[in-house]
Chain A
Amino acid sequence: MNSKSFWGWSSTEALREGGESGGFVTSFLESIVGKYDNILAVRKTGTVFEGAVMSIDSKEDAIKTQGALHAVCMELSHYIKKGERTAIVLKPCDARAVIENMKRNHVERENVLLIGLNCGGTLPPVDTMRFIDNYFELAPEDIVKEEIAKGKIIFKTTSGKEFWKTIDEIEEEGFGRRENCRYCDVKIPSMCDIACGNWGTPAGKNITFVEVFTENGNNALEQAVREGFINVGEPSEKMIAVRSKINGIMKKMAGGWNKRIIGRLRNMPNEERLAYIKNVLSPCIACYACRKACPVCKCGDDCKCMQMDPDDSLPISIFHSIRLLHLTESCIGCGNCSDVCPVDIPLAHLHQLFARNYEKKTGYKPGMSIEDIPPLSRGDLPEGY
């Protein structure tokens, strides 16, 4: 089906005030309670820098998940179990991971309702705490809300004050969004059933812009409206244009970072790039945390990469070369590998370098649609043979 756009907001006044942009997602989750085996979302567990995955069993649970958490970088796709009907709230990279898992038969498409959130990037919690301490002299407990909007990163404090800096300014100083978010170019999760976000909504009105992509998403939304959980309205042409303009600006920004981070590696002479890769991988202590955290790595413990000796004297360990091979056609750039690495190897941009070069060559971008078959799994004959 063609995608449809709505403005949506919660019918409950308290949620409309308390939730993010009109509490649409919270109320939507309320409406599907009991209809799925598992409903997954992230909830705040302390300050805005701490969160945990929550399985929503009741309407009260749904309310606990309200509010966006930019500084909680969790990968939810790990929690989807095969054979269980699951609804899940996720950011675009998580959604791409779920799609990749669907292609590899680890998850069934018809069992999962993907509720996507538009994402301009996530914040690394520890660096962000350091940043607010350095620049605004704020403690993590002082922050009630953080936001990425209009090219700024905004922190709202308990006393009602707003502190902000532009994204560019923060990132020049080495703080700001996670590195993989800076060059990520998927801001609206078009592979989901529905995508929600505050881009293209009138300021101060507490409304969510909802784009519905699938029949499944459409049915769930219609049901939620029928049962009186949410209200929907027709968005104005102007605001639809505003939304795609913001998307364009974010993508352009991502393009700039892509040139700076991936492009720098791409343009190095071959020997230099090889030396760089060897060099950054050399501190690896073979803990396999990157593999464990990787949402698309699903070979299991029998994978060839696990049977290798980490102490061999090879220039690049076989573990990493196989992971680079496997992820060349499936890396979705979530950045989990860099996050979990105990010796701070910048794995995400290495994997993205390979994946983006391969994407340039074949036009295949992982995680965008379940119909896209990875080139290595196609049975056809490529041109020129």
Chain B
Amino acid sequence: MSFEPKILAFLCNWCSYGAADMAGTSRLQYPSNIRIIRFMCSGRIDPNFVIEAFLRGADGVMITGCHIGDCHYIDGNYKTVHRYEFLKEYLDTLGIGSERLTLEWCSAAEGMKFSQKVTEFTERIRKLGPSPIKGDEQ
């Protein structure tokens, strides 16, 4: 059987989740490899969540939030940026590779962008293959 990546997507409630909704109502197609978890803000996403996702078998993790300046909580996504930069370095050092993590800004009106980014990211992970941290049994 060909490799189907498992991708975990962390979406913020105010923009990106709206974008996913928009993609749905506009009947835009995107791969069904992503599993969406909704957060109230992308600034709530603790680096632990991302590393735990990888430990529990995710091949890629996508973080999405409001555009800079549009955060519902004013500067929640500034924190996301710092954590994203931190996580990239962490994943590179650990050996998983930072290319398995992505950060995208999607406003509630950008259903098109959301579906595009999901497609792109799924293709990227498909090329990279299964996450190296997964054991043979998974």
Q: Which positions in A face B, CB cutoff 8 Å?
A: 270-275, 277-278, 304, 314-316, 318, 321-322, 324-325, 328-329, 353-354, 357-358, 361-362, 375-376, 378-382, 385
Contacts and interface: CB of A to CB of B under 8 A. Distances in A.
A357 B55 contact: no
A60 B2 CA distance: 77
13 contacts: A273-B93, A273-B95, A274-B95, A304-B48, A318-B55, A324-B94, A325-B51, A354-B90, A354-B94, A357-B89, A358-B89, A358-B90, A375-B86
A162 B6 CA distance: 65
Contact of A361 (B79, B81, B89): B89
B95 A277 contact: yes
Nearest to B56: A314
Given A271-B95, A274-B96, A316 B133 contact: yes
Contacts of B135: 315
Contacts of A271: 95, 132
Contacts of A273: 93-95
Contacts of B123: none
B4 interface: no
Contacts of A275: 95
Interface residues of B, number: 27
A321 B55 contact: yes
Interface string B80-101: 0111011001101111110000
A275 B94 CA distance: 9
Contacts of B95: 270-275, 277
A272 B86 CA distance: 22
B30 interface: no
B82 A375 contact: yes
Contacts of B86: 328-329, 358, 375-376
Nearest to A271: B132
A381 B81 contact: yes
A277 B94 contact: yes
A382 B82 contact: yes
Contacts of A379: 75, 78-79
Contacts of A274: 94-96, 132-133
Contact of A325 (B90, B96, B97): B90
B24 interface: no
A216 B81 CA distance: 38
A314 B78 contact: no
A380 B47 CA distance: 18
Nearest to B138: A315
Contact of B133 (A272, A315, A322, A362): A315
A273 B48 CA distance: 20
A314 B48 CA distance: 14
Nearest to A317: B55
Contact of A376 (B75, B82, B133): B82
A278 B95 CA distance: 10
B103 to A, nearest CB: 9
Contacts of B83: 376
Contacts of A272: 95
Interface in B62-116: 68, 75, 78-79, 81-83, 85-86, 89-90, 92-97
B93 A357 contact: yes
A271 B132 CA distance: 7
Nearest to B95: A274
A60 to B, nearest CB: 50
Contact of B68 (A277, A328, A362, A381): A381
A304 B75 CA distance: 25
Contacts of B96: 270, 274
A270 B132 contact: yes
Contacts of B82: 375-376, 378, 382
B134 interface: yes
Contacts of A325: 47-48, 51, 90
A321 B75 contact: no
A361 B92 CA distance: 12
Nearest to B75: A379
Nearest to B47: A325
Nearest to A355: B93
Contacts of B97: 270
B128 to A, nearest CB: 11
A353 B94 CA distance: 9
A84 B104 CA distance: 48
A381 B78 contact: yes
Given A277-B94, A329-B86, A321 B78 contact: no
A304 B52 CA distance: 12
Contacts of A316: 55, 133
Contacts of B132: 270-271, 274
A273 B78 CA distance: 31
